[in-house]
Amino acid sequence: MEETLAHPLEKYLRTEKLPHMWCPGCGIGTVVQAFLRAVDELKIEQDKVVAVSGIGCTGRIPQYIKFDGAHVLHGRAIPVALGIKLARPDLKVVVFGGDGDLASIGGNHLMHAARRNADLIVIMVNNFIYGLTGGQVAPTTPKEATTYTSPYGPDSKPLDAVKLVSAAGGTFVARWSTAYPVLLKESIKRAFSHRGFSFIEVISQCPELFGRINNFKSTYEIYQKIKKVGTIRRGISPYDAKYDWNSEISLGEFVNFEAPSYYDQLREIIEKAKGVKE
Amino acid sequence: METIAKSIWKRLPLSSNYAVAYAARDSDVDEIAAYPITPQTTVVEKLSEFIANGELLAEMVHVESEHSAMSASIGASAAGARAFTATSSQGLELMHELLHIASGMRLPIVMSVAARALSAPLSIWGDYSDVMNTRDTSWITIIASSAQEVYDSIVQAYRIAESVMLPVMVAYDGFMMSHTYEPVFVSEKAGLFRDYIPRKGRVVLDTKKPVTMGAVANPDWYYETKYQQVKAMSDAYGLSVEADQTFSKLYGRGYGLVEEYNVDNSELVILTYGGIFGTVKQAVDEMREQGIPVGAARVRLFRPFPLNELRSLLLKSKAVAVLDRSFSNGLPVSGPLAVELKSMMNSYNINVPVYSYIVGLGQRTVTEADISKIASQALSSKVSNESIYWGVRE
């Protein structure tokens, strides 16, 4: 009998759920792998991580990885995750969501989680469209792109989530792409050790629903585009970071500083009020 | 009718979603605000195409949630536009508070709903839990059972809405109708319905004649304002009949408010709503061939509740089995249509046995064989007083 070698990350996967629902060439797998490698290298106990998601292709991640998790309503992963974190501050709570989930219907929650410096890691996979519903225009869709609900391009300019989260008060804000899986993994590791709100956007390819309609004839072509447009800029301000499909989408860690997290701030108020003793 | 059919219609293979889009185009809507949700999305995709191709002169807003979709529709309608939106499931739930605003502000918005199950657990498949949750929102509710009826109902909906100043939703089965294709007659050229749904003057936001919509109503006036909605819903009944009859006269297709099928000389009527009616009719045919005296009917207008049509149906019925694709948990009889039918029968002293069946939740398949088994169970009268959850694994 031929011996089959287990995948080094297999213990983190719900193998009974495989094969997964993502299309061939999708970038989400790269994000999952970077995340699992980060957890593995940091030797974080599996039962200390909770994965929460809303709706969307990226929202399916918690189904496939072996951590406790919740798959909740479209856009609402962040408030659910915050509830989990407040009830169990000892857990690492990670939110996975797409741009359609976190920057659109859940945009308000993203903004306020950043404002509160909520103790969460939010990984937003940006494929520029609503993928799961079939490729409709999203708030992140570049002006130059075509989608199934914007045959002549979007009606307004895209939202740069890095600037939004930075302006709202996020204390760890980064953007990477699927072309840099190792840098992404390292960034996720730093997010794990960061106290407060960590936001990582990952520019990712959707070859089927964003690629085809925009004349990328293969996964390779759209991947090359993502590789080319993503430019690493170290030490620049998030407000100088570019989000431009034609020239440059800036990658890097734009914000990283220490500030009292939401949990710290709550403890402070409790102490001031001389309330509950731990 | 044949001559009409030849001259003004174009026959196309359409899903109910596309039928909605064609109907919105042919109703000459001015504003569309929508957010993607399965299984509604192709409605909006098609409408984007119509706008991009210059077939429809309308503004489309790609909003950031269904809450915003209904809000934008309210704004557009308040400013005088003919507003349209489409949604499903959680999208309809997210709109819920706005549904009350739309009806309370008396705005003639029309919305299509590809009916779908509600989370949790997450299901993208069809049932009517979403639509049934809106029963108390003062929206006129039509439930169609074919793509042609979806098309015609959207057009009729604007006539009703703009006459009575209440919003209308037209619902149909998610997936079973939203994604299956049927031959549909659509208008050959623009303007076919111009006289059927004329542009009428109404109170709108106008700087020359300022009004405030949705203003604060204290206890001295809130009650009366709400009662006006009750009166309007009551008027909507007659107007729905009129809209359907006039449509039938002008365009050759009418549906009534309750559709009956082989009800005469039956021992049992199977009453339901939506696309499942096709399966029920097929089952009735098969049972009739075997000499089993079964008939069927479906409620097309759910709000306002079609009292007269149902009374006349019940007068002809010896027993009724109601198939609901939704449930109101905590009641002994939990099928929404069954509950409302029983309540109506009580008010009008009608005494016919009503058996409540819950079927097809989250798109659990319901076949003709299921319908036949339900019918023979109901005919045996050995049926529980409580709702039966057909085929569930306990």
CATH class (in words) of the domain with range B2-251: alpha beta
What are the helix and strand counts (H, E) for chain B? 13, 15
SS3 state at B321 = strand
> Which residue in A104, A149, A155 is closest to B45 by CB distance?
A149
Q: What is the pLDDT of residues B289-330, one digit of tens each?
A: 999 999 999 999 999 999 999 999 999 999 999 999 999 999
Nearest CA in chain B to A148: B45
SS3 state at B9 = strand
C-beta separation of B188 from B10 below 8 A: yes
Look up residue A13 and give its DSSP letter: B
As to burial, measured by CB atoms within 10 angstroms (0-12 exposed, 13-18 middle, 19+ buried), residue B372 is: middle
SS3 state at A154 = coil
For chain B, give every residue range classified as CATH 3.40.50.920: 258-389
For chain B, give every residue range classified as CATH 3.40.50.970: 2-251
Give the span between the Cα atoms of A76 and A72, in whole angstroms: 7
What was the pLDDT predicted at B5? 54
What was the pLDDT predicted at A21? 95
φ/ψ of residue A17, rounded to 5: -85, -10
C-alpha B168, offset from chain centre: 8
SS3 state at B316 = coil
- The C-alpha of B91 sits at a distance from chain A's nearest C-alpha, in angstroms, of 9
Average pLDDT, chain A: 95
Nearest to B171 by CA among B136, B134, B207: B134
Nearest to B139 by CA among B176, B113, B172: B113
What was the pLDDT predicted at B7? 80
Q: CB-based contacts of B132: which residues, under 8 Å, 6+ apart?
A: B326, B328, B336
- The C-alpha of B54 sits at a distance from chain A's nearest C-alpha, in angstroms, of 12
Ramachandran area for residue A156 (φ above 0: left; ψ -120 to 50: alpha; else beta): beta
Confidence of residue B381 (pLDDT cuts 50, 70, 90): confident
Architecture, CATH, for domain A20-273:
3-Layer(aba) Sandwich (3.40)
Q: What is the pLDDT of residues B170-198, one digit of tens each?
A: 999 999 999 999 999 999 988 999 999 99
Give the span between the Cα atoms of B176 and B276, in whole angstroms: 9
Put simply, the answer to whether A154 touches B48 (Cβ < 8 Å) is no
Question: What would the mean pLDDT of B235-261 be, rounded to a whole number?
Answer: 97
| Cβ neighbour number for residue A221 with a 10 Å cutoff | 15
Confidence of residue B280 (pLDDT cuts 50, 70, 90): very high
Give the span between the Cα atoms of A92 and B47, in whole angstroms: 44
Give the span between the Cα atoms of B172 and B128, in whole angstroms: 9
SS3 state at A74 = coil
Give the span between the Cα atoms of B298 and B341, in whole angstroms: 12
Chain B residues whose CB is inside 8 A of the A73 CB are: 90, 119
Alpha carbon of B255 to those of A159, B122, B142, B249: distances in Å?
47, 34, 11, 12
Q: What is the pLDDT of residues A195-240, one digit of tens each?
A: 999 999 999 999 999 999 999 999 999 999 999 999 999 999 999 9
Sign of dihedral through CA atoms A74, A139, B85, B250?
A: negative
Put simply, the answer to whether B90 touches A74 (Cβ < 8 Å) is yes
Chain A residues whose CB is inside 8 A of the B61 CB are: 155
Whether pLDDT at B96 is above 70? yes
Put simply, the answer to whether B62 touches A154 (Cβ < 8 Å) is yes
Question: What pTM was estimated for this model as a whole?
Answer: 0.93
Nearest CA in chain A to B52: A151
Confidence of residue A153 (pLDDT cuts 50, 70, 90): very high
Contact residues, chain B to chain A, C-beta under 8 Å: 35-38, 41-42, 44-45, 48-49, 52, 60-62, 64-65, 90, 119-120, 122
As to burial, measured by CB atoms within 10 angstroms (0-12 exposed, 13-18 middle, 19+ buried), residue A14 is: middle
Put simply, the answer to whether A134 touches B36 (Cβ < 8 Å) is yes
What was the pLDDT predicted at B319? 96
| Cβ neighbour number for residue A211 with a 10 Å cutoff | 23
Structure tokens at A174: 């980064």
What was the pLDDT predicted at B262? 96
Confidence of residue A277 (pLDDT cuts 50, 70, 90): low
C-beta separation of B76 from B33 below 8 A: yes
Alpha carbon of B107 to those of A91, B136, B194, B205, B208: distances in Å?
48, 16, 20, 12, 20
SS3 state at A115 = helix
Segments making up each domain of chain A, as ranges: 20-273
Angle, alpha carbons B131-B135-B137 (nearest 5°): 110
Ramachandran area for residue B259 (φ above 0: left; ψ -120 to 50: alpha; else beta): beta
- The C-alpha of A135 sits at a distance from chain B's nearest C-alpha, in angstroms, of 9
Contact residues, chain A to chain B, C-beta under 8 Å: 55, 71-75, 100, 104-105, 107, 130, 132-134, 136-137, 139, 148-152, 154-155
Chain B residues whose CB is inside 8 A of the A74 CB are: 37, 65, 90
Whether pLDDT at B3 is above 70? no
What percentage of chain A carries pLDDT values higher than 90?
94
B96-104 vs B66-78: helix crossing angle, rounded to 10: 10
> Which residue in B48, B90, B119 is closest to A149 by CB distance?
B48
Whether pLDDT at B387 is above 80? yes
Chain A residues whose CB is inside 8 A of the B45 CB are: 134, 136, 148-149
Instruction: Output the DSSP codes for B73-122.
Output: HHHHHHTT--EEEEE-HHHHHHTHHHHHHHHHTT---EEEEEE---SSSP
Give the span between the Cα atoms of A129 and A148, in whole angstroms: 10
C-beta separation of B97 from B155 below 8 A: no
Chain A residues whose CB is inside 8 A of the B42 CB are: 134
Q: CB-based contacts of B292: which residues, under 8 Å, 6+ apart?
A: B372, B375, B376, B379
C-beta separation of B141 from B303 below 8 A: yes
Nearest CA in chain B to A136: B36
SS3 state at B345 = helix
AA letter at A157: K
- The C-alpha of B130 sits at a distance from chain A's nearest C-alpha, in angstroms, of 15
Put simply, the answer to whether A71 touches B122 (Cβ < 8 Å) is yes
Half-sphere exposure of A111 (CA within 13 A, CB side): 10
Chain A residues whose CB is inside 8 A of the B55 CB are: none
Give the span between the Cα atoms of B242 and B119, in whole angstroms: 38
> Which residue in A73, A130, A139 is closest to B36 by CB distance?
A130
Whether pLDDT at B143 is above 80? yes
Query: ipTM value of the model?
Result: 0.89
Put simply, the answer to whether B48 touches A139 (Cβ < 8 Å) is no
C-beta separation of B127 from B326 below 8 A: yes
Q: What is the pLDDT of residues A33-83, one digit of tens each?
A: 999 999 999 999 999 999 999 999 999 999 999 999 999 999 999 999 999
Nearest to B158 by CA among B203, B197, B186, B195: B197
State whether CATH 3.40.50.2300 applies to domain B258-389: no
Give the span between the Cα atoms of B332 and B309, in whole angstroms: 26
Q: Are strands B301-303 and B140-143 parallel, antiparallel or unpaired?
A: antiparallel
> Which residue in A74, A105, A148 is closest to B45 by CB distance?
A148
Alpha carbon of A154 to those of A42, A89, B52: distances in Å?
41, 41, 12
Q: CB-based contacts of B380: which residues, under 8 Å, 6+ apart?
A: none
Q: What is the pLDDT of residues B12-55, one digit of tens each?
A: 999 999 999 999 999 999 999 999 999 999 999 999 999 999 99
Confidence of residue B4 (pLDDT cuts 50, 70, 90): low
Nearest to B295 by CA among B275, B277, B276, B307: B277
Put simply, the answer to whether B49 touches A130 (Cβ < 8 Å) is no
